[in-house]
Amino acid sequence: MIELRWVTHEDPCMRDVTDLRWEVLMAPFGVSRDDNWHDDDPHSHHLVAVEDGRVIGYSRLIEDGGAGQIRQVVVAFDRQRAGIGSAMLAETVTKARELGLDPVFLHARTRAETFYQRLGFVTASETPFPYGRTGQPHVRMEIRGGGDD
């Protein structure tokens, strides 16, 4: 059974999150390892997916003014396409709504754009742009509404 839980940056499982993020998000692009993910940012909320004691997924929500930015959505290679990413995104958007954040946005790699569209995100940038340490093409995507404003 997969458990989704919010943790602090001090939780011991964050060491496994660091390994998972590098392994899935950086290593395939030849990016050298740099474990400074700024997890201690006081505006960050960390969601982990754990199965049989193993961290298999992670999503980060950052309070960005009145908006919420989702970053570093990652699922272990051997557990992808099992609904884990979708469940984490739904939980992350729910957390953003509980915090009163609107819109919720992310910068998606273009190859993941349809995944986020299926979850209700819409593309908000006109053209892809290089982003992050990988320099891979990304688009800004947003999901609005759901708030009480």
- CATH, residue 18: 3.40.630.30
Q: Can you say whether the dihedral through the CA atoms of 73, 97, 86, 56 is positive or negative?
A: positive
Q: What integer pLDDT is reported at residue 147 of this predicted model? A: 44
Boundaries of domain holding 47:
2-143
pLDDT bucket at 85, cuts 50 / 70 / 90 = very high
Let me know if residue 149 belongs to a domain. Answer: no
Q: How many domains in the chain?
A: 1
Q: Which residues pair with 5 in a beta bridge?
A: 48
Q: What integer pLDDT is reported at residue 146 of this predicted model? A: 58
Let me know if residue 99 belongs to a domain. Answer: yes
Let me know if residue 12 belongs to a domain. Answer: yes
Let me know if residue 148 belongs to a domain. Answer: no
Average pLDDT, the chain: 94
Cα separation of 71 and 25, whole Å? Answer: 11
pLDDT tens, position by position, 16-60: 999 999 999 999 999 989 888 999 999 999 999 999 999 999 999
Let me know if residue 32 belongs to a domain. Answer: yes
Let me know if residue 67 belongs to a domain. Answer: yes
User: Is the pLDDT at 148 greater than 70, yes or no?
Assistant: no
